[in-house]
Structure formats: C-alpha cells, structure tokens
Amino acid sequence: MKTQPVNLRAECYGDAALPPLIVLHGMLGSGRNWASMAKRLGDRFAVWAVDLRNHGASPHAADMSYPAMAADLGAFLEREGIAKPVLAGHSMGGKAAMRFAVDAPERVRGLAVVDIAPKPYAPRWEKEFAALRALDLATLRSRSEAEARLEPAIPDWAFRKFLTTNLVRDPETKAFRWAVNLEGLHAALPQLFQKGLGEGERYDGPVLFLRGGRSRFVDPGDIAVIQRHFPRARLETVEGAGHNVHFDAPDAFAERLLGWIDGEVAGGRAG
C-alpha cells in the first residue's frame, strides 16, 4: 500500500526567482540546521531548508522509509511549483535525496550528497535514543537541565546541544515535548541504516559526494559502489571536517558545492 505524502514544512532563503536548491537534514535534525549555510548560499539560489517527516515542524507519520521521504519531497516540489532543483542531502537526508533522484531523475538538476554512501551501515543511535526516551519531560524546567541529565550517557557537549534542539514547549501547557517523533524514529532505525537503493538502480545526472576527512561514514574506496548507482559521481574530501561537513568547514563546503554546480550541473548559475 502506497504511503500518503505528508505536507513538509520548509523555509526559503534567498529570492524565490533564483534557481532552486533543496537541502535535507540528517537524523534528529531539522531545516534549521542548514539555516546558516542556506543564508550564505541565498544570494545565488532560492535555498529551501526542509523538515523531513517526523522532524522539526513537519507532520509525524508511521512510515519512516526512504521511499516515503522521497514521496514527501515530490509532493512538496509540486505544491511549491519548484522545477528541477539541485538536491543536497546530509546523512539520512542524503539517502532520501538519492532515493528521490533515482525515482524521479527528470525532476532533479543535480545531486549533492554529504558524508553518506549508498551502502548499509552498522546500527547505531541506540544509546542516544535510550537516553532521550528516558528523559522525564514532566519534571524538566529548561534545555540546559536536559543537557545536564543527558551528560552521563552523552558526554559530547555539542552533540547534547544538538539533540536538545528537538525539545519544544507545548503552547498550552508550557511543558516540554519532543518536536520529533522519537518513538517512530527509534522503531525505524533498522531500515534507515540499510543501503537504501537496489541493485541496478541509478541516476545518470551530475552528482557530488562530499565526505569529511575525519569522518568514517564514507571511505575513498566507496567510489566503486557510488559510481554503480551514480555513474557521473565524483567523491571529494574536505580535510579537517567530521560528519557534519557543512558545520565543521563551511567555507570549504560552500566552495566545493558552488564549484561543482558551476562546473558540472547543467544550468548552474555562474558568479
């Protein structure tokens, strides 16, 4: 049975008359994670920072598969009248963008994938989800208190800050609640770490894979499996960056992305 698309929430940075660039966030993120980069690119593109289903201000739904996320994106583009955008997706958002490009190549001008490859990954996030699910929201007074409670299980300060951006106050009760569908995402973890593409599925348009030099998500040797699905793909490494390449090295990220668009994406807007 086909999943009904949900009405994705998105914010546009830049003049809507400029060429469209859609950015898709990773697990437990939101379009806000891309705000700084979207503003930076907004003089060249209409940058749409999207909240994927079960994240941010977008609706919750039981199906958290990549085909469902791709269907949501297709419905969003149709609703907003966006034709042939460049897609840029990070991590989970990168796999959703790959799925959409393979399913609807005629609707994509080019594809940029940030620190993820079309391969299966070992399960992770269980410890983090356990800590988030155990957090007693009824007694929580502030996000800083939430960070303190999470510290024993999640010692990385920046990561805790990132996770607690998903805590919002209910407008009526003022109590904290999760903006993300925490239970639904936890249940979907096994399928989200699968390859995401089937054998023989491919997109023949221009593709850029950007990996962080300090990240272990994409190895230089992955170019073989990448090019089986994306024959025109090139893989570049941003040295000094971790998994969140657009955060860790924004200057290098923007330079690589814009250089690829101007050099290889048909219709890329020059300078």
pLDDT one-digit tens code per residue, 119-134? 999 988 999 999 999 9
Q: What integer pLDDT is reported at residue 172 of this predicted model?
A: 86
pLDDT at 270: 35
CATH number belonging to domain 9-122+193-264: 3.40.50.1820
Domain ranges of the chain: 9-122+193-264, 126-189
Handedness of CA 194, 197, 200, 206 (dihedral sign): negative
- Whole-number average pLDDT of the chain: 95
Considering the entire predicted model, what is its pTM? 0.95
Model confidence at 268, in pLDDT bands (50, 70, 90)?
Answer: very low
State yes or no: is 25 an active-site residue. no
The predicted-structure confidence for 48-101, as pLDDT tens digits, reads as follows 999 999 999 999 999 999 999 999 999 999 999 999 999 999 999 999 999 999
Helix axes 126-134, 182-192, angle to 10 degrees: 170
Q: CA-CA distances (angstroms) from residue 40 to 87, 113, 264, 266?
A: 16, 18, 21, 22
Indicate which residue of 90, 229, 243, 246 is catalytic.
243
- Whether 215 sits among the annotated catalytic residues: the reply is no
Write out pLDDT tens, residues 190-233. Answer: 999 999 999 999 999 999 999 999 999 999 999 999 999 999 99
Q: Give the 3-state secondary structure of residue 260.
A: helix
Query: CB burial class (10 A; 0-12, 13-18, 19+) of residue 97?
Result: buried
Q: What is the average per-residue pLDDT within 160-186?
A: 94
65 as an active site residue: the answer is: no
Whether the predicted pLDDT of 266 surpasses 70: no
The residue with tokens 């009824």 is 138
Task: For the chain, give the percent of residues with pLDDT over 90.
Answer: 94
The reported pLDDT for the residue numbered 84 is: 95
Catalytic residue among 90, 91, 128, 246: 91
